[in-house]
Amino acid sequence: MTSTTSTAEPILEVTGLVKHYPLTRGILFKKQIGAVKAVDGVDFTLARGETLGIVGESGCGKSTVAKLLCNLERPTAGSIRFKGEDITKLSGKALKAVRRNIQMVFQDPYTSLNPRMTVGDIIGEPYDIHPEAAPKGDRRRRVQELLDVVGLDPEYVNRYPHQFSGGQRQRIGIARGLALRPEVIVADEPVSALDVSVQAQVINLMDRLQSEFDLSYVFIAHDLSIVRHISDRVGVMYLGRIVEIGRDAEIYDHPTHPYTQALLSAVPVPDPEAREQRERIILSGDVPSPTNIPSGCRFRTRCWKAQERCVREVPALAVPAVFRDTSGPAAHASACHFAEEKQVVPAEDS
Amino acid sequence: MRGADGALLEVRDLKVEFRTRDGVAHAVNGVSYEVDAGETLAVLGESGSGKSVTAQAVMGILDTPPGKVTGGRILFQGRDLLTLKEEERRRIRGAGMAMIFQDALSALNPVISVGDQLGEMFVVHRGMSKKDARGKAVELMERVRIPAAAQRVRDYPHQFSGGMRQRIMIAMALALEPALIIADEPTTALDVTVQAQVMDLLAELQREYHMGLILITHDLGVVADVADRIAVMYAGKIVESAPVRDIYKAPAHPYTRGLLDSIPRLDQKGHQLYAIKGLPPNLMHIPPGCSFHPRCPMARDVCRTDEPPLYEVSGTRGSACHFWRECLDDLDDLDG
Ligand SMILES: Nc1ncnc2c1ncn2[C@@H]1O[C@H](COP(=O)(O)OP(=O)(O)O)[C@@H](O)[C@H]1O
Ligand SMILES: Nc1ncnc2c1ncn2[C@@H]1O[C@H](COP(=O)(O)OP(=O)(O)O)[C@@H](O)[C@H]1O
Ligand code: SF4
Ligand code: SF4
Ligand SMILES: [Mg+2]
Ligand SMILES: [Mg+2]
């Protein structure tokens, strides 16, 4: 077992996933002058019943990964195996069947719901696309059941989205995601637009639904604290790639990749006493453009440890040689030539 | 500097309403706070609690109408701003106090170079020549550590990254060395690594210039990192006010406590998160008594009828809860 895979049989297996958007110039005669390398070689697995968190700063390719997983975009290269079958090669009926099983919950509960549709129509819409999932006469009852499951009054079916608060709208989005009884839910920043007290309500709901419906989650967020709370394993993305992946304690308490270490050290911790104990790693500069990814290690332009080798050689996402023969928490996949442990999050005190 | 007779800024019982077609929104309902020179006051609260409106009233940039200050006083360096003429207030804005907004891109003028926007402050307020003002602009850009400032002074806002634009906003606010800076969610739109750069810069400059800083945020982590004092707002009121350490150790208001318990921690793998039940009130129909009572796990009959004043918890702390003693004592069992 390497750390990019987990023990149980994977429900999703992503290998070498790439999505490049062509960058063109000219209106009449479009000429490709480059590519936005939004996703540039991503590997991970998701075990049944597990939550894999994906973190990273804006623009690193998280949403693109989500769209690829849900078949809303076609990859440029790579494969996505759902229970062993590569879904990127499917079309027609077979594709439709797989789509039922992988559903997305979007970030913005304000813009992702059609304002002119009733809540009942929004939640029931997946049944129009997949009529085999629920007989027509049964739909209203199912929608009401879903409202109940996510903690909303089933009597609300005829209301419109604007009559709900942000947190309630996110519940509607989740109910819609559950309509087809999927096995995998890909949630792209599902609580980022919500206030903290409401955020907690939605996170707790997702926790409960996971065990109730035996769901596997890919949970995408830029908030590292939330991701730790909900995830079993965590992958850290930078410029279109996962640079470090492992169990939550491996990543948070024993990070070995400099980017993960910097990211964690920058998160403000709501405890004024922890502030003195913490070492902040302040990265210089900005993330490079995904149209122009640095050679070798893509993090090297901001890495305080970068050396000549980092310019020439792409570090692979694997357990670094120094930790390969150890069995401790540092022995997880990290794409760095000079990986070493550094504790940046103060140890738990309570 | 703290004037002989008081703080740098003293807001007393401020009230702001918005009169709209749907009714009157009571956005600010008797807010009082003070900021001293060199001090950082964090104003914390969920969206809609009246943080920005309070700041806009202090700056004199309230959206009027529909907004209107209906009561209270705002004393800045001893003068009541609400009695001053607009021209006088404009002079104070910029030279006396300045504001940093969340969204730098919409706060900066997109068709004027950043150098000209920075320089204009000196031309208008200090009567400098354009050439000298440009030199000042470069100096300021260097102060906020924008790389290659001299080359970039002619660039437009959209040519900078989000973090760099927020530095330019800070430079604008600092230009005339005001005594007070109000930063309204200055890093909310930024990624954590950039957020850390910008907050560090702001804190450093504040120390250096010995400015008063009001930091408006909904992020309890950011507050813990930089603030001296916290004022927690709920439904247009300050429900708790305390030195930062005290509040994190032992909140004296059930709302503050609920907020603290509902955030996941980076250093702790939690189980069930505490969630405050229900939603913040509609500001057109604020519940009678304690406005938090429909959501409060400690509410009793008196809470539904009697509005709690800001009780003095200690010389430096206040809580608008009838049962603040219980809240302080009862550290562990908050029922869900
Ligand atoms: N349809 C598209 N065409 C061109 N570039 C795109 C498209 N979608 C996303 N991108 C670019 O791909 C990169 C990754 O975007 P995204 O996956 O949305 O990142 P994240 O969700 O991590 O913020 C960004 O630089 C973005 O501008
Ligand atoms: N321009 C406006 N017109 C009408 N109502 C407003 C306006 N600005 C603010 N409000 C009211 O004031 C309340 C508090 O707003 P604000 O101070 O912006 O909250 P926050 O704490 O999120 O900064 C809002 O919920 C809204 O009801
Ligand atoms: S491979 Fe080199 S540049 Fe990349 S993270 Fe490791 S030390 Fe830094
Ligand atoms: S006054 Fe009553 S309702 Fe208000 S916070 Fe205190 S206990 Fe809760
Ligand atoms: Mg995204
Ligand atoms: Mg605001």
> What are the pLDDT digits (tens) for B129-171?
999 999 999 999 998 989 889 999 999 999 988 888 989 999 9
| Ligand 1 midpoint to CA A66 (Å) | 11
Separation CA B205–CA A252 (nearest Å): 32
- Nearest CA distance, B194 vs chain A (angstrom): 8
- The answer to whether the CB atoms of A195 and B218 lie below 8 A apart is yes
The CATH number of the structural domain formed by B9-96+176-335 is 3.40.50.300
Separation CA A280–CA A266 (nearest Å): 6
Minimal Cβ distance to B274: which of A200, A267, A273: A200
- On the question of pLDDT at B270 being above 80, the answer is no
- The answer to whether the CB atoms of A224 and B192 lie below 8 A apart is yes
φ/ψ bin of B330: left (φ > 0), alpha (ψ from -120 to 50), beta (otherwise) = beta
Question: Are the CB atoms for A241 and A224 separated by under 8 Å?
Answer: no
Question: Are the CB atoms for B195 and B146 separated by under 8 Å?
Answer: no
φ/ψ bin of B251: left (φ > 0), alpha (ψ from -120 to 50), beta (otherwise) = beta
> Taking ligand 5, which is a single-atom ion, which protein residues have CB atoms under 5 Å away?
A 62-63
Predicted local distance difference test score (pLDDT) of residue B264: 86
Amino acid A38 reads A
Predicted local distance difference test score (pLDDT) of residue A34: 87
- On the question of pLDDT at A268 being above 60, the answer is yes
- What DSSP string runs through B206-264? HHHHT-EEEEEES-HHHHHHH-SEEEEEETTEEEEEEEHHHHHH--SSHHHHHHHHHS-
A112 against A236, higher pLDDT: A236
Task: Kindly list the domain boundaries of chain A, sorted by start residue.
Answer: 10-26+34-231, 256-344
Amino acid A95 reads L
Q: Give the 3-state secondary structure of residue A80.
A: strand
Mean pLDDT of A221-230: 92
Predicted local distance difference test score (pLDDT) of residue A304: 94
ipTM of the complex: 0.81
Q: What angle do CA B213, B214, B215 make, to 5 degrees?
A: 110
Give the number of other Cβ atoms within 10 Å of residue B152's Cβ: 18
Predicted local distance difference test score (pLDDT) of residue A235: 98
Across chain A, what does the average pLDDT equal? 90
> Which of A283, A287, A310, A334 is the pocket-test mutation for ligand 3 (most atoms within 8 Å of CB)?
A310
Within 6 Å (CB) of ligand 3, which residues are found? A 258, 297, 299-300, 303, 305-306, 310, 315, 336-338
Predicted local distance difference test score (pLDDT) of residue B331: 57
Mean pLDDT of B177-194: 89
Bridging pattern class, strands B180-184 and B97-100:
parallel
Predicted local distance difference test score (pLDDT) of residue B254: 96
Question: Are the CB atoms for A343 and A253 separated by under 8 Å?
Answer: yes
| Ligand 5 midpoint to CA A34 (Å) | 22
- On the question of pLDDT at B2 being above 50, the answer is no
B189 against A19, higher pLDDT: A19
For residue B216, which of B51, B35, B26 has the smallest C-alpha distance?
Answer: B51
Percentage of the residues of chain B whose pLDDT score is greater than 70: 95
pLDDT band at A277 (very low <50, low <70, confident <90, very high): confident
> Which of B53, B101, B103, B283 is the pocket-test mutation for ligand 2 (most atoms within 8 Å of CB)?
B53
B307 against A96, higher pLDDT: B307
Quick check: A273 contacting B, CB < 8 Å?
yes
Residues of B in contact with A226 (CB under 8 A): 264
In DSSP terms, which residues pair with B212 in a beta bridge? B180
Mean pLDDT of A303-317: 96
Q: Is the CB of B293 under 6 A from ligand 4?
A: yes
Interface of A with B in 7-66 (CB under 8 A): 57-58
Task: Provide the 8-state DSSP code for B81.
Answer: G
Task: Provide the 8-state DSSP code for B66.
Answer: T
* CB pairs < 8 Å spanning A and B: 132
Predicted local distance difference test score (pLDDT) of residue B86: 92
- Ranking A1-5, A27-31, A280-284, B61-65 by mean pLDDT, the lowest is A1-5
Question: Are the CB atoms for B290 and B253 separated by under 8 Å?
Answer: no
**The model scores a pTM over 0.90:** no
- On the question of pLDDT at A293 being above 80, the answer is yes
Residues of B in contact with A150 (CB under 8 A): none
- On the question of pLDDT at A350 being above 60, the answer is no
Report pLDDT digits (tens) over A294-303: 999 999 999 9
Give the number of other Cβ atoms within 10 Å of residue B151's Cβ: 9
Separation CA B173–CA B117 (nearest Å): 11
Distance of CA B144 to the CA centre of its chain: 21
- Residue ranges in chain A assigned as alpha helix (H): 62-69, 92-101, 119-129, 139-149, 166-178, 196-213, 224-230, 248-253, 258-266, 274-277, 308-312
In DSSP terms, which residues pair with A17 in a beta bridge? A42
- Name A189's Cβ contacts closer than 8 Å, sequence gap at least 6: A62, A63, A107, A220, A221, A222
Tokens of A45: 């697995």
Separation CA B104–CA A201 (nearest Å): 31
Separation CA A277–CA A256 (nearest Å): 20
Residues of B in contact with A197 (CB under 8 A): 46, 258-259, 262, 275-276
Quick check: B264 contacting A, CB < 8 Å?
yes
Quick check: B221 contacting A, CB < 8 Å?
yes
pLDDT band at A165 (very low <50, low <70, confident <90, very high): confident
Give the number of other Cβ atoms within 10 Å of residue B334's Cβ: 16
Mean pLDDT of A225-230: 92
- What DSSP string runs through A250-304? HHHHS--SHHHHHHHHHSPPS-TTHHHHPPP----S-PPPTTSPPSSSTTTTT-T
Rg (CA), chain A: 21
The CATH number of the structural domain formed by A10-26+34-231 is 3.40.50.300
For residue B185, which of B164, B204, B169 has the smallest C-alpha distance?
Answer: B169
Quick check: B269 contacting A, CB < 8 Å?
yes
Give me the residue label for tokens 């080359």: B151
Report pLDDT digits (tens) over B44-101: 998 899 999 999 999 999 998 999 999 999 999 999 999 999 999 999 998 899 999 9
- What DSSP string runs through B88-150? HHHHHHHHTEEEE-S-HHHHS-TTS-HHHHHHHHHHHHH---HHHHHHHHHHHHHHTT-TTHH
